[in-house]
Amino acid sequence: MAKAQIQETLKNALEASVDPVSLSWMVEQAEKIKASTSPNPFFLAFSRASRYFNKEAISWTEGVTMALPEGVDPSAWDCLQVARMFLVLQLPFQNEVWEDILQRLFETGDMYEQQALYAALPLLPNSERLLPRAIEGCRTNISLIFDAIALHNPFPARFFPEANWNQLVLKAIFMQRPLYLIQDLDRRRNTALAAMATDFAHERWAAGRAVMPEVWRLIVPFMNSQYLEDLKNVLASTDATEQKAGALAAYQSDYAPAKGLLTAFPSLQEACASDDYSWEDLGIEFQKNRI
């Protein structure tokens, strides 16, 4: 998708939410960035955007999101982030300087700047060249930055090799991030991840701590006699959300003994059969109750 079209879309989205003065400042900066051979106007504008844009959410209309590259979900972006994305897209992507400029910005960015940069990855031309940077970014312990890479972002599912993808999902579990906001989670489930996730669950149980219900989504395609024991545990939980998660994992699996567990829980079986709740519902329920 053409860069110009993405920029136009971002600008239109901002128009409805911000002061015209801020918008004309942004457009003016974009011209300065394009006209300069030094990266300084870009660095300066990127930082100073916080003086013109706030962190209020933007309301996106459906038509607008259609104009963004496939899989891009802007629902979590705020005005400041979108303005910064607009500015990043001014970089000269036709030569390779842009990589150095962006690396420098990633290394010196404050937490909101980094949030904007990582969330912008799927908008950048040749963004796969920033794969090492995205993998490095997942090592952050700042949840705001981690979320920008892991949640609402098509980049990891599209480009992360399996080992890094698994590390991302596992870290999301560890940090109790909402797994339902990780794009293409089902498609990229794998046996190694299922094994790591259940090991993690065992550690939590050993410590007498609860396990995030969304974890059981990861074992569905790989159900076997070992995971069956885990499911029995989950179904016996006193926590309703956890129990519902165990039931859904059992219901969705093709492993007959797992499905068989549900006969002891007719109301849960019925709820699964009539699509009463989804993994997303369970994730939302969990996040709400952990407050």
- Residues lying near other proteins in the complex (CB under 8 A) are found at 40, 43-44, 47-48, 50-51, 55, 75-76, 107-114, 141-144, 147, 151, 174-178, 181, 284, 287-288, 290-291
Question: With respect to other proteins, which residue has the nearer C-beta, 44 or 240?
Answer: 44
Shortest CB 111 distance to other proteins, Å: 5
Question: Which one, 144 or 264, has the nearer CB to other proteins?
Answer: 144
Please, what is the minimum distance in Å from the beta carbon of residue 34 to other proteins? 20
Nearer Cβ to other proteins (113/230): 113
CB of 225 to other proteins, least distance (A): 31
CB of 48 to other proteins, least distance (A): 5
Q: Least CB distance from residue 14 to other proteins, whole Å?
A: 18
In the bound complex, what is the minimum distance in angstroms from residue 49's beta carbon to other proteins?
Answer: 9
Cα distances (Å, whole numbers) of residue 265 to 78, 95, 234, 243, 262: 43, 61, 12, 10, 5
> Among residues 126 and 176, whose Cβ is nearest to other proteins?
176
In this complex, which beta carbon is closest to other proteins, that of residue 43 or of residue 60?
43
Which of residues 46 and 98 has its CB atom nearest to other proteins in the complex?
46
